Structure formats: structure tokens, C-alpha cells
Amino acid sequence: MTRYFTEDHEWIEVEGDLGTVGITDYAQGQLGDITFVELPEAGAAVTKGDSVSVVDSVKAASDVYTPVSGTIAEANHALGDEPELVNTDAEVGGWLFRVTLSNASELESLMDADAYKTYVESL
């Protein structure tokens, strides 16, 4: 599996043509305590850059953008009962949705882990 990052602090981990998407640990730290997560519907067609989810926290509501185009395969419904999973396990159990990629070449415009680390350090 390969993991990529966006400048909006989303991550996508790709295996085959399926990508698992969430927000980075940096993003959840900036948001503070997560109180609610609005998830996309399975089967929805999405285009890279679309706002497909919203994460509400004690500080703000933040849109989550899909890093790739495709079709929503599933959402992490565990977040309905435990939105705080995004805080405690942002880059594993706190994933938001899975998307079936329609254009894998879109991954080329995303950052790898080293580039993302450098990007965050520059903020």
C-alpha cells in the first residue's frame, strides 16, 4: 500500500484501485476535539477536489476534499458513534471513506510522506 497526502491535510492509502481517505494527525490536532463527522454516501461519484465530508470540532467545521476522482465505496460508520476516533487514531482507525479510483494518474500530483512532512514544517 502506498500513502499520499494533500496540501489540505488529507491522506489516501491506495491498494489496487481502492483508496482509503482520512485527515492527517496534523489536521486533527489543529481542529481539536472532533464532535461529529458527516460522511459521504456509498455509490456517489466524486471528482478530485470535491468536498465530500465535513468534520466538526469544538473549534470549527472543516470540509474534507477527495484527493482523487472515483466512486465512494464505503464510509466509516464507526465515526457516527465515535467521532473522537479521528482524534485518537486519525491515520488508521479514524479513516473517513473509501473511494474506487477512476483515474490513478491523479495520485501523481499528491505528496509522499517526506514531502508532506516538509510541507507541514513550513507552515
Render pLDDT for 109-119 as a digit per residue (tens, 0 to 9). Answer: 999 999 999 99
Residue 62: pLDDT band by 50, 70, 90 thresholds? very high
- Of 3, 10, 1, give the one whose Cα is nearest residue 48: 10
pLDDT exceeds cutoff 90 at 1: no
Question: Exposed/middle/buried for 41, CB within 10 Å: 0-12, 13-18, 19+?
Answer: exposed
Q: Which domains does the chain show, CATH number per domain?
A: 2-102 (2.40.50.100)
The pTM of this model reads 0.96
Cα–Cα distance between 30 and 10 in angstroms, integer? 13
Taking residues 21-40, what's their average pLDDT?
A: 97
Amino acid sitting at position 93? G
